[in-house]
Structure 1
Amino acid sequence: MRKQLIGIAANEIQDSGTTLHHMPIAYTPLGYVKAVQKAGGLAMLLPISQPEDAKDYVSQIDKLVLAGGQNVSTKFYGQTLETEMDHSYLARDEFELALIDEALKQEKPIFAVCRGMQLINVALGGNLLQKIESDHIMHMQTPVPKEIPTHEIETKEKSTLRLIYGQRTHVNSFHYQAVDQVAAPFTATAWSPDGIVEGIEAKKHRILGVQWHPDFAYEVLAQEMQTFDYVVNQL
């Protein structure tokens, strides 16, 4: 049987540091690639490109992965910037929104992680909470190591996340922003104890989104590898 080809939307950094001679590079965290491979799939990086190229990229893959990274630009959900600095990257937003549009048109499943979940929620009509205010949940866990779960989530009954994670589990957390109004095609299927949406699903479109990072912990937490197994082989 042919292996599933998983397209992972890549990020960019303009200065890669002294080791790489300060070159601009296209990249994705290696966890996505290795976890897809471990689950039996083939990984293909999709570099930030012109939006009109999205159709050709999506036509070559079986499933799309939207990774973590920068904030989503407020221009795409009609809000005024509430933070001191704009940490968005317009070229990435525009290209990944085009990838989402094409994946929906071509009926390709989508797995969206952290920023990816936020972006796909915006793409389908939802909005974001620009500043999380929580007295008892650490949503940005740095400097706690990336693979260590730091807060609990509860999943929705009969959801995909309930099947993978059970009713309650603990996950890692690396985000300053979050889904606020959930877009109409989605159902919220996981929450942290302070009410932040941690998972969304749209079974009609075969979309799964998580706010935490399975790519950071797939080697040490069985539940996170099970997520990649589901994405590659069942989503």
Structure 2
Amino acid sequence: MARPIVGITTYLEAARWGVWVREAVISPQGYARAVEKAGGAPVLLPPMSPVAAGDYVRGLDGLILAGGVEIDPSLYGEAADSRVEEPQGHRDRFELALTRAAVEADLPILAISRGMHMLNIAQGGTLIPWLPEVVAHERHETARHLVTVSVSSKLGKAIGDRAEVTGAHHQAVKRLGTNLLAVAWADDQIVEGIELQGHRFAVGVQWHPERGTDNRLVEALIDASRP
């Protein structure tokens, strides 16, 4: 059986190799390794013109919306915040179009960290621009933490009702987008996992499953991506 082709979103950054410094498509290798280990064929998607989003989707069996810098707050109706890293407009525009095309095509999606935020925004949701100000603590800045998961959700069926996960963040889901459900929470009830109702597989998590040894969530994406 052929391996499902899974697209992975990327950065466009200046990079150095040898004597050259050039703009390059960059992705942490953990994403590709996790996809290959789960039985998929990883393909990196450079953040190019949003017009090409539908063409990408037609050539894929699944999609990972990868982590990265914060999304432009103007995309969800908030003002810029000096505490937040400068957004990458070209990546935001491409991934917003890509996410909407993937949802429309019922393409299996695993949205990780920033990717979860993008899935929420694509469905009309909003974010908390600076989480420590809202929750009055900085526990979300630490990498390892416990989450509680709805056992009836696709996420719960993949990883169980509780998990220790890796992923520091200082933004979070505020208002859920259309047809999205919260399916995982931190101990302060901040949303850590979401799912799109009526979709074959569209799961977003605040943490980074590609960084650990538990590959069950990526395996669930690959299973959903098979013909």
Q: What displacement does 1:94 show?
A: 0.3
Gaps of 5+ in 1: 142-148
Question: Among residues 208, 218, 222, which one is paired with 1:228 in the alignment?
Answer: 218
The residue aligned with 1:82 is 81
The residue aligned with 1:11 is 11
Q: What displacement does 1:184 show?
A: 2.2
Separation in structure 2 between the aligned mates of residue 53 and residue 136 of structure 1, nearest angstrom:
41
Contact 1:137–1:194 (Cα < 8 Å) also in 2? no
Contact 1:8–1:64 (Cα < 8 Å) also in 2? yes
1:119 aligns with 2:103: no
Contact 2:53–2:94 (Cα < 8 Å) also in 1? yes
Contact 1:137–1:151 (Cα < 8 Å) also in 2? no
The residue aligned with 1:42 is 41
The residue aligned with 2:208 is 213
After superposition, the Cα gap between the structure-2 partners of 1:195 and 1:60, relative to the gap in structure 1 and judged at 3 Å, is same
Contact 2:108–2:224 (Cα < 8 Å) also in 1? no
The residue aligned with 1:185 is 179
The residue aligned with 1:196 is 190
Per-residue CA distance 1:109-164 (angstroms, 9 max, x = gap): 111000000011011010000111245552223xxxxxxx6211111131122222
Q: What displacement does 1:104 show?
A: 2.1
Q: What displacement does 1:54 show?
A: 1.1
Amino acid at match of 1:138: R
The residue aligned with 2:140 is 139
After superposition, the Cα gap between the structure-2 partners of 1:80 and 1:171, relative to the gap in structure 1 and judged at 3 Å, is same
Amino acid at match of 1:212: W
The residue aligned with 1:157 is 151
Separation in structure 1 between the aligned mates of residue 207 and residue 32 of structure 2, nearest angstrom:
17
Helix, strand or coil at the partner of 1:183: coil
Contact 1:71–1:88 (Cα < 8 Å) also in 2? yes
After superposition, the Cα gap between the structure-2 partners of 1:20 and 1:91, relative to the gap in structure 1 and judged at 3 Å, is farther
After superposition, the Cα gap between the structure-2 partners of 1:87 and 1:158, relative to the gap in structure 1 and judged at 3 Å, is same
Contact 1:112–1:120 (Cα < 8 Å) also in 2? yes
Question: Among residues 160, 166, 172, which one is paired with 1:166 in the alignment?
Answer: 160
Contact 1:138–1:150 (Cα < 8 Å) also in 2? no
Normalising by structure 1, we get a TM-score of 0.88
Separation in structure 2 between the aligned mates of residue 200 and residue 132 of structure 1, nearest angstrom:
18
Amino acid at match of 1:227: L
Gaps of 5+ in 2: none
Q: What displacement does 1:23 show?
A: 2.3
Contact 2:99–2:118 (Cα < 8 Å) also in 1? no
Contact 1:112–1:210 (Cα < 8 Å) also in 2? yes
| Percentage identity across paired residues of the two chains | 34
Normalising by structure 2, we get a TM-score of 0.91
The structure in which a higher percent of residues are strand is 2
Q: What displacement does 1:86 show?
A: 4.7
